[in-house]
Copies of this chain bind each other. A is one copy, B any other.
Amino acid sequence: MYDKIPYKIYLEENEIPSAWYNLRADMPVKPAPLLDPATGKPLTFEQMQPIFCDELIRQELDNDTPYIDIPGEVQDFYKMYRPSPLTHAVFLEKALDTPAHIFYKFEGNNTSGSHKLNSAIAQAYYAKKQGLKGVTTETGAGQWGTALSMSCSFMGLDCKVFMVKVSYEQKPFRREVMRTYGASITPSPSETTEVGRRILAEHPGTTGSLGCAISEAVETAVGTEGYRYVLGSVLNQVLLHQSIIGMEAKTACEKYDIHPDIIIGCAGGGSNLGGLISPFMGEKLRGEADYEIIAVEPASCPSFTRGKFAYDFCDTGKVTPLAKMYTLGCDFIPSANHAGGLRFHGMSPVLSQLYHDGYMKAVAVEQTGVFEAAELFARTEGILPAPESSHAIRGAIDEALKCKETGEEKTIILGLTGTGYFDLAAYAQFNDRTMSDYIPTDEELEKGFAGLPKV
């Protein structure tokens, strides 16, 4: 069926989209607005200004404009590592002996190792354009922090990264990449912020969490002249920037007559999934085409499949606005045995609304199965995938195996968000057969839900 197309499809440079697609414009029910936790009322532009860059707030609030031009400098930067290839996974198909056709959109061919760079450079650009001195952010595994460091270095901005302490200590290599790009890295919780000092006092010896690092980054941005806070997932603006993934994928499909039936992505905060599916979901919302869209999340942090659709804080320290999303509660902490990323308790409000309205489905997978899929993918397709991405691979393999049962010749596109070069401690666990699975009990989830704010 796809015998005549190249193994790897690279678009021409002039086929890289020059505008992002804003999926919200086509949503029949728009995502709920961010709320001020103090008043329970929607946050205004002015209220967000101390935290976020002006232009990014406009993008965050814009539910109507379908296409937003990508600034020239951002387009130039994109050309450094884009277009990313859409690859026909012929060797994986052969190993699975499936009639299904599997394609993957690979976002890992850049030094940040993931798709995060697509939004980082946009956010750094708007911060620079506003005349800011720098930005603050948090990072867990380090992909977002690396992407932002690269982007700030390129734009000549200062970059302050709060890195979850356990990652800071266990992943010194990511830290060094960020330092090479001139960023300053603070292990979180730290003594440099009020929220950090409070958390350290309450939980001496804590190794930190993403939620806590967010709190520190926000406090620092608000309290430092010429700084704003930037975030690599969850927010509407991030999904907007990440739409470039899906737009390139769709252009490649049209150019080479590829007709996807299923589109699969991993889901932590939703940045990659939201970007990958954007233009396809747009067609679906407009009734122009139909696709099966599947979010794959870890069974140990199952926001979609076992969470509640409710307003919640985006961080542990409860300093952020409230977002309406599928959430396990901001007090929920994934098991320490959880190796990969995708540890966030919540989910993009855009994706949450679409899931709630029945436009996409979600599955939860366990981590040993995820690493089995990763190993098979590495051995057949020659790319060592990130644990996050491997959730999508697991989902795609499961769909391809169903096709083997039914004989259906479905076409599957999966989002391969990045590489696993900095996740080899997890691979070592898998290689040593010391990796285990974990599924939270209903009681554990109830504890998380109990902390949901009353709105």
Interface residues of A (CB under 8 A from B): 6-8, 10, 12-13, 77, 79-81, 91, 109-111, 113, 150, 153-154, 172-173, 176-177, 179-182, 375, 378-384, 419, 421-422, 424-425, 427-428, 430-431
A109 touches B109 (CB 8 A): yes
Query: What chain B residues lie within 8 Å of A182 (beta carbons)?
Result: 379
Which residue of chain B is the closest to A111 with respect to CB atoms?
A: B384
Q: With A153-B379, A181-B378 known to touch, is A176 a contact of B421 (CB < 8 Å)?
A: no
Query: What chain B residues lie within 8 Å of A375 (beta carbons)?
Result: 180
Known contacts A6-B12, A154-B380; 5 additional CB pairs below 8 A are A6-B79, A7-B79, A177-B384, A177-B421, A180-B378
> Can you name 18 A-B residue pairings with CB atoms under 8 Å?
A6-B12, A7-B79, A8-B13, A110-B383, A150-B382, A154-B380, A154-B382, A172-B424, A173-B424, A176-B424, A176-B427, A176-B428, A176-B431, A180-B375, A180-B379, A180-B384, A180-B431, A181-B378
Q: How far is the CB of A418 from chain B (nearest CB, A)?
A: 12
Q: Which of B79, B379, B421 contacts A421 (CB 8 A)?
A: B421
Query: What chain B residues lie within 8 Å of A153 (beta carbons)?
Result: 379
For A7, A172, A177, A424, which residue has the most chain B Cβ atoms within 10 angstroms? A424
Query: What chain B residues lie within 8 Å of A383 (beta carbons)?
Result: 110-111
B431 touches A173 (CB 8 A): no
A80 touches B7 (CB 8 A): yes
B379 touches A181 (CB 8 A): yes
Which residue of chain B is the closest to A181 with respect to CB atoms?
A: B379
A421 touches B422 (CB 8 A): yes
Which residue of chain B is the closest to A151 with respect to CB atoms?
A: B382
Docked complex Cα distance between A79 and B177 (Å): 29
Query: What chain B residues lie within 8 Å of A79 (beta carbons)?
Result: 6-8
Query: What chain B residues lie within 8 Å of A384 (beta carbons)?
Result: 111, 177, 180
A110 touches B13 (CB 8 A): no
Query: What chain B residues lie within 8 Å of A77 (beta carbons)?
Result: 382
Q: Which of B10, B381, B421, B422 contacts A10 (CB 8 A)?
A: B10
Docked complex Cα distance between A431 and B182 (Å): 9
Query: What chain B residues lie within 8 Å of A424 (beta carbons)?
Result: 172-173, 176-177
Query: What chain B residues lie within 8 Å of A382 (beta carbons)?
Result: 77, 80-81, 110-111, 150, 154
Q: How far is the CB of A172 from chain B (nearest CB, A)?
A: 7
Q: Which of B6, B80, B179, B427 contacts A381 (CB 8 A)?
A: B80
Query: What chain B residues lie within 8 Å of A430 (beta carbons)?
Result: 180
For A10, A80, A153, A182, which residue has the most chain B Cβ atoms within 10 angstroms? A80
Q: How far is the CB of A245 from chain B (nearest CB, A)?
A: 18
Which residue of chain B is the closest to A375 with respect to CB atoms?
A: B180
Q: With A109-B109, A180-B384, A384-B180 known to touch, is A379 a contact of B154 (CB < 8 Å)?
A: yes
Q: How far is the CB of A239 from chain B (nearest CB, A)?
A: 23
Query: What chain B residues lie within 8 Å of A113 (beta carbons)?
Result: 421
Docked complex Cα distance between A380 and B176 (Å): 17
Query: What chain B residues lie within 8 Å of A8 (beta carbons)?
Result: 13, 79-80
Q: How far is the CB of A94 from chain B (nearest CB, A)?
A: 11
Docked complex Cα distance between A91 and B79 (Å): 11
Which residue of chain B is the closest to A179 with respect to CB atoms?
A: B431
Q: How far is the CB of A145 from chain B (nearest CB, A)?
A: 14
Query: What chain B residues lie within 8 Å of A419 (beta carbons)?
Result: 111
4 tightest Cβ-Cβ pairs between the two chains A and B: A173-B424, A176-B424, A6-B13, A7-B79
Query: What chain B residues lie within 8 Å of A427 (beta carbons)?
Result: 176-177, 179-180
